[in-house]
Homo-oligomer: A and B are copies of this chain.
Amino acid sequence: MPTSVKIFDTTLRDGTQGEGISLSVEDKIKIARKLDELGVHYIEGGWPGSNSKDIEFFERVRDMKFTNAKITAFGSTRRKDSIAADDINLNRLVESGAQVATIFGKSWDFHVHTAIQTTLEENLAMIYDSVLYLKSCGLEVIYDAEHFFDGYKNNPEYALQTISKAQDAGADWIVLCDTNGGSLPSEVTTIVSAVKLHVSTPVGIHAHNDCELGVANSLAAVQAGAGQVQGTINGYGERCGNANLSSIIPNLQLKLGYHVISEEQLKSLTPVSRYISEIANMHMPINQPYVGNAAFAHKGGIHVSAILKDASTYEHTKPELVGNKQRVLVSELAGQSNVLVKAQELNLDFNKEHQKTKEVIEKIKDLEHQGYQFEGADATLELLLREAFEGLEEIFTLESFKMLVEKSANQSVVSEAIVKVKVHGETIYTAAEGNGPVNALDNALRKALIQYYPDIKNIHLSDYKVRVLDEKGATAGKVRVLMETTDFNTTWNTLGVSSNIIEASWYALVDSLRYALIGRQRVEPANKEQNERLGLINH
């Protein structure tokens, strides 16, 4: 039984089959770099036989240095009734310059008849010839036995024959694929054990998540002797996704004691998973195990009381081990413990018996009732708490804003904003254009403030999300705007709610600037001196 497990990442190939995922060559290169840092052992870069984008990827990575990972190219066995050495797609693998070729072949007799429409014997020859040819070209060869579990359940003798052919031809790995994702852990245990008795070549597992068992099936295979796990970061992939490496890696290493990656690399799991979700432009589910924003978040009042005594009462592992962190959420169910924790973080004198404390809790409840959700907007909550306890100076007051969008037939759209604000007793009236209405408003407000707050030029909005709260009403419903702002060192999130998207954006925008200009002084005292220098304090 192996004590270490090799990770084969296919985010760049099988992952891009996921609905809504589309990666440019540049995206793929960025992701490959991150995967290498994370310490995966194989990076499947694409299918050079299927599209020109993937051919370009292999050209670009050919001269790049990777510390931990080998690059592998994906393809299929040769076409039926042809010669491997003449097969254009097999030759694309060779030409790709990848060190490792991963090819899939058919294990399931039903598929041989139905999908590729050939004989069982020809399919065996296709596997043998293709592996042999790639080995003769000096490549490491991983043989992916497509639909192996379905094939084994239907015709175990034939399924075993197909992988014996790959072994006979010299394959370095035989990877058993649960392509349709319909197998159960108990079946995986039985079938992997049978395969281990039948072949001596190292065995791997490639699972899908159609029964929400992708992670469990991967673990079951490893416990039955598999030494390689194929999957994708965040479980991206067709239909319900591939087996999720962001959960499999910590499960193998922290729960089952296998050596997979280094402790330091494991600490990069959360940032790498989030980085890849950003590059893939996929929403990161907050409840994603290990790496999600809510994975170690506590909402229930009882749980919060207990974790204040000892975090292991309600945490199955230390979030720091995977680069994540504990969060305490504010909500109506949580009683006052959670707001208390947040107030403690801010060093506020938050005595539950004080009138001020009761008032701010009432205010939070009232805002939540209107659709505010502070769980995703720490900066807005912090401003609210500090304003209630300490008072915060106004950086400006609004007199009015106007926002205009104009479009004529066949002309490009124009957005303008006009703002009138009072700063340090002076009225400033200015206007700006933008790519869109919120951008125009952002530009106009910055233009009005920058002479008083020059620091503002280092601050940029980095994300903008809109949620319709009352879906029944659609464009007449309330919207919640969540903004993420960054100064390149830290990021903070602010929130606005209104039935008008422009007004909601305005609230979030104002809080993002308030937090940057006055809210952070207390939390990051290192900035205090700089802020004093810039005249941001006691103006």
Contacts and interface: CB of A to CB of B under 8 A. Distances in A.
Contacts of A255: 182, 184, 211
Given A209-B289, A220-B185, A401-B406, A434 B476 contact: yes
B239 A294 contact: yes
A72 interface: no
Contacts of A165: none
Interface stretch (A90-98, A134-142, A280-288, A385-393): A280-288
A306 interface: yes
Interface residues of chain A: helix, strand, loop or mixed (majority): mixed
Contacts of A289: 181, 209-212, 240
Interface in A263-317: 278, 281, 283, 285-290, 292-301, 303, 305-306, 309-310, 312-317
Contact of A185 (B185, B315, B437, B479): B185
A244 interface: yes
Contact of A247 (B211, B479, B499, B503): B211
A316 B182 contact: yes
Contacts of A287: 18-19, 209, 235, 239-241
A219 interface: yes
Interface residues of A, number: 127
A322 to B, nearest CB: 11
B506 A407 contact: yes
A5 interface: no
Given A210-B295, A436-B500, 9 more contacts: A18-B299, A19-B293, A209-B287, A238-B298, A238-B299, A399-B409, A404-B404, A436-B475, A460-B474
26 contacts: A19-B286, A19-B287, A114-B313, A179-B314, A180-B316, A181-B316, A184-B219, A184-B251, A185-B185, A185-B216, A211-B247, A211-B316, A212-B244, A281-B471, A283-B283, A399-B408, A401-B407, A407-B506, A415-B500, A435-B475, A435-B477, A436-B476, A437-B500, A463-B471, A464-B468, A475-B505
Which 10 residue pairs are nearest across A and B when measured between Cβ atoms?
A182-B316, A216-B216, A461-B474, A212-B247, A466-B466, A439-B475, A436-B500, A180-B316, A400-B408, A212-B215
